[in-house]
Structure 1
Amino acid sequence: MESVNQTTLGEFILLAFSDLGQLQHLLFFIILSVFIICIVGNVTIIILVKTEPSLHTPMYFFISVLSALETTFVSSIIPKLLANLIVADRKISFIGCFFQAFTSHTLGTAECYLLAVMAFDRHLAINNPLNYLTIMTYEFSVKLAFLPLIVGFVCIIIPTILIAGLDFCGPNKINLFYCDLVVVQSLACSYYSISQAVTSFMAFISTVVPFTIIIGFYVHIIIIILLIQSPNGKVRAFSTCSSHLSVTCLYYITGIIVYVIPKGKTYDKFLALLYTVITPLLNPFIYTYRNKDVKKALLKLTSY
Structure 2
Amino acid sequence: MSAELASADLVAAFQHELRLCNVHEDENVLIFTDPRFPHPEYPPAAFAAARALGANAYILTSQGDQTFDDALVRAAWANADMILGMSMLPRGIGSWMYTDTHNAALEAGARVLMVQEPLEVLLRMLPTEDVRRRGLAGAQRIQEAKEIHVVSKAGSDYYLRKDGRPGMYQCGIADTPGRWDHWPSGLVTCAPLRDQGEGKYVIEPGDVLLGLWRHANSRVELTIERGKVTRIEGGPDAYLLQSLLERAGDEGAFHFAHAGWGIDPRADWGHVGMDSESLYGTVLVAIGRNIFTTPAPYSGLGGDNLSEAHCDICCRNTSLYLDGELIVENERFVAQDLG
Alignment TM-score, normalising by the size of structure 1? 0.26
Task: Tell which structure's C-alpha radius of gyration is larger.
Answer: 1
Greater strand fraction, Structure 1 or Structure 2: 2
Question: Could you say which structure has the greater relative contact order, defined with CA pairs below 8 angstroms and 6 or more residues apart?
Answer: 1
